[in-house]
Amino acid sequence: MHTRLLHNDPQGLATAAAMLRAGGLVAFGTETVYGLGADAGNDTAVAAIYTAKGRPGINPLISHFASADAAFEQVEATPLARRLADRFWPGPLTMVLPRGTHCGISTIATAGLPTAAVRVPAGQTTQALLAACGFPVVAPSANPSGRVSPSDAQHVLAGLDGRIDAVLDCGPCRVGVESTIIDLSRDVPVLLRPGGITLEALEAACGMKLALPAGSNDARPTAPGQLSSHYAPGLPVRLDARSVTPDEALLAFGPPLPGSALVWNLSATGDLHEAAARLFAGLRFLDMEGHRRGLVGIAVQPVPGHGLGRAIRDRLIRAACPRP
């Protein structure tokens, strides 16, 4: 299959929407990462996403909508869900809610669960694409399953060229880590995945502390459907490095440690927003260039665990997990 690179102009948008409507797979940029889109109501198209990514069928997908009203036609919204939608949509928050009686989302996309994950992404192009489609679009991150997520169009092509119909070039992603996922289908809200909306902001909006999934802690995060090894570069990743050797690449945060000739600084000033936006590009760069230079691994300087740092640490911990 030839993968087309579509430009961010009216013609590119119209082509992307037409391809999705016809059951094609089109990657597009959101404010978080690039997603691999398909018509959420089309079983064949949804199944093709799992094949293209090599994704286990038990791992459900997020449906993307142009508006909260459109999302809440598919799921049963609670008062808290409506409040969070008012506060954070469009934006990097995903809510897991019971499927509605007239839910048109493919049961393949929800992996047979009684719930569905929904979100309204931000970004002019993303919004325009979803509006042009007029149907929900499922979109997992546009990378082969288990690999580092893509934050620009070239990252998507590096992993999926020849396996999908097109990539709509929306430029680099502003946030850089995936959406925060909150499960609102149980008695108490549960944080399933830290992401672009901080836990602090979410708890403030909810007016309560959020439950974290049972068994989760900073060393061993868990989220349903997420394998612990994820975001995995080829080179081994060593966390919380206090020193670095010349045969290692360095993912720095703040003033870089001395000792490595190959450095990607997430943020020289220690800014967590900048660090999130530069995370996946940095992992990709150090992996590729480190491999070319025959280095043995990637050392990562400590990143604080508050605010966006929680999502950054979560991704780094998974990147460092032993591969299955």
Identity of the residue, 225 or 270, whose beta carbon is nearer to ligand TXA in the bound complex: 225
User: Which two tokens mark 138?
Assistant: 């499922």
Identity of the residue, 117 or 252, whose beta carbon is nearer to ligand TXA in the bound complex: 117
What's the min distance (Å) between Cβ of 306 and ligand TXA?
A: 20
User: Which two tokens mark 243?
Assistant: 């020193």
What's the min distance (Å) between Cβ of 60 and ligand TXA?
A: 3
Q: Single out the residue of 8, 15, 42, 94 in contact with ligand TXA (rule: CB under 6 A).
A: 94
Strand 93-98 to 34-39 pairing: unpaired
Which span (109-117, 152-160, 302-310, 313-321) binds ligand TXA, by CB under 6 A? 109-117
Query: What 3-state class would DSSP assign to 296?
Result: coil
Backbone angles phi, psi at 27, to 5 degrees: -85, 145
Identity of the residue, 257 or 321, whose beta carbon is nearer to ligand TXA in the bound complex: 321
Residue 40: partners with Cβ closer than 8 Å, 6 or more residues away: 46, 61, 63, 104, 105, 106, 109, 135, 136, 137, 138
Residue 285 backbone zone (phi > 0: left; psi -120 to 50: alpha; other: beta): alpha
Question: What mask of x and - would describe binding to ligand TXA in positions 187 to 226, judged by CB under 6 A?
Answer: -----xx-----------------------------xxxx
Half-sphere exposure at residue 203, Cβ-oriented, CA atoms within 13 angstroms:
11
Residues of span 140-179 touching Mg ion by CB under 5 A: 141
What's the min distance (Å) between Cβ of 300 and ligand TXA?
A: 21
Q: Is 115 in the site for ligand TXA (CB under 6 A)?
A: yes
Helices 153-160 and 272-292, interaxial angle, to 10°? 40
Q: Is 160 in the site for ligand TXA (CB under 6 A)?
A: no
User: Which two tokens mark 287?
Assistant: 């992996």
Residues of span 15-34 touching ligand TXA by CB under 6 A: 30, 32-33
Which span (85-93, 105-113, 135-143, 264-272) binds Mg ion, by CB under 5 A? 135-143
Q: Considering CB under 6 A, how many residues would be counted as binding ligand TXA?
A: 29
231 close to 313: Cβ distance less than 8 angstroms: no
Residues 6-44 as b/e (b if ≥16 CB within 10 A, e otherwise) read: bebeeebbebbbebbeeebbbbbbbbbbbbbbbbbbbee
What's the min distance (Å) between Cβ of 249 and ligand TXA?
A: 25
Name the site residues for ligand TXA (rule: CB under 6 A): 30, 32-33, 35, 59-62, 92, 94, 96, 110, 113, 115-117, 121, 139-141, 178-179, 181, 192-193, 223-226
| Interface residues toward Mg ion, by CB under 5 A | 141
